[in-house]
Structure 1
Amino acid sequence: MTAEPVADSSARKQQIREQAHANRNAQENKDDLSRQIVARCMAMPEYQNAKTVLFYIDVRSEVRTRNDLTNALAGGKKIIVPYCVEGELELFHLENNDELAIGMYKILEPKDELRSVAAKKVDVKEIDLIIVPGVAFDRRGGRTGHGKGYYDKLLEHARPDTPLVALAFECQMFDEIPMQDHDVYMDKVVTEKAVYDGLGRR
């Protein structure tokens, strides 16, 4: 597979993002479908076998994970949530939902006063499973986010054996996401209809 020229790839990705956002915003029954998707993810061996799991917290019309955080916290795993600081994702060990508050852009994040607690800080190499959000995906595990590269930077430092599992509504699936050489493929993409086996980082 040869990568597309960067300019063509960027333009195509932007078209796909716009279409995916429209599809996702129009998606009905987001809560019900999200519960199905998260339940499917949590039943997978990749989740069952992981001791430490990075769980994104949904924003806007993403697959909703916040409704399942309580179950995740009660499941005996170490649950990590990301938050953004100056264009980088920091990782926080979440022990109960009371540690979260509405932050900038109306995003649910760890409370400011807890972020400097040393015991709450986590290195990405400690994580056994990364649950990844995204705007659009294909069935090979190709992904595009918002174009800011937060997750790309984080995933560069993840352990090679850590599965990357994306959650998406079926309406976010496209025939092909243009990928550059540095882009990362997901190991699995989980929707309300299927679990797609991606190329991963091999």
Structure 2
Amino acid sequence: MMKIISNMISKANLRKEMRTVLKSMSTEEIQAQSQIVTQKLLDMPEYSAAKRISIFLSMRDEVDTHNILTHALKLKKECFIPQYFTGGPIMKMVKLEDLEDYKNLPVTAWNIKQPANDDVRPDALETGGLDLILVPGMAFTKAGDRCGRGKGYYDTYLNKIYKEQEHPVVTVALAFREQILDFVPTDSHDFRVDHVISPDN
């Protein structure tokens, strides 16, 4: 059904349809697809080479990133996680020290762990930049077009890092097979990711 979504669909309607699709996925299916996607990422040369990596802390309807975080910390990669701020699409990528640090993070209204607003941590852009960024979203094409949740956090951050960081960064979207579409509506400010990983590609 999702493969033949009209190329006239609006972002708002696409998000609505995708929320329904993702909500219908069982926990077992989410975990099974997450395991496949995780292994594909860990096998990527870009992941192996990355020393400083940004990892989003997943919600229930996103590819589970917990095993990726655990693996990256075990390999002594420097891990950075999103810290969102209200009042606009303001987001930093801040340092996560270890799994104990992760366990102690507070849970937000979105039911994800995140450093509190007054939790001052090393900022990725101010301490050497990032080599690889894992990007969430609602829907993707294989070519890298992306529809996010509509808040603009990642598009704003990715455009910022491309302007301010001297060395190149690799962007990788993690997706369920249900999130891979033939068409995703985009605007000029939308950021195209370098790689899209799903169980089927």
Q: Normalising by structure 1, what TM-score?
A: 0.82
Is contact 2:11–2:147 with CA below 8 Å preserved after alignment? yes
Q: Distance in 1 between matches of 2:108 and 2:100?
A: 17
The CA RMSD over aligned residues, in Å, is 2.1
Deviation at 1:121, TM superposition (A): 2.5
CA pair 111-13 structure 1, distance change in 2 beyond 3 A: closer
Q: Which amino acid aligns with 2:123?
A: K
Is contact 2:83–2:117 with CA below 8 Å preserved after alignment? no
The residue that corresponds to 1:171 in the other structure is 178
Is contact 2:141–2:183 with CA below 8 Å preserved after alignment? yes
Secondary structure of 1:164's match? strand
Q: Normalising by structure 2, what TM-score?
A: 0.83
Q: Distance in 2 between matches of 1:144 and 1:111?
A: 27
Aligned residue pair count? 183
The residue that corresponds to 1:72 in the other structure is 72
Secondary structure of 1:82's match? strand
- 1:136 corresponds, among 130, 134, 139, to 139
The residue that corresponds to 2:45 in the other structure is 45
The residue that corresponds to 2:11 in the other structure is 13
The residue that corresponds to 2:156 in the other structure is 153
Deviation at 1:108, TM superposition (A): 0.8
Is contact 1:54–1:131 with CA below 8 Å preserved after alignment? yes
Q: Which amino acid aligns with 2:11?
A: K
Moved over 4 A (4+): none
Q: Distance in 2 between matches of 1:164 and 1:90?
A: 16
The runs of 5 or more residues in structure 2 that have no matched partner are: 1-6
- Residue identity over aligned pairs, in percent, reads 30
Is contact 2:38–2:67 with CA below 8 Å preserved after alignment? no
Secondary structure of 2:114's match? strand
Deviation at 1:188, TM superposition (A): 0.7
Deviation at 1:112, TM superposition (A): 6.0
CA pair 67-48 structure 1, distance change in 2 beyond 3 A: closer
Residue range with higher mean Cα deviation, 161-170 or 151-160: 151-160
1:107 paired to 2:109: no
CA pair 178-111 structure 1, distance change in 2 beyond 3 A: closer
The residue that corresponds to 2:36 in the other structure is 36
Residue range with higher mean Cα deviation, 44-53 or 59-68: 59-68
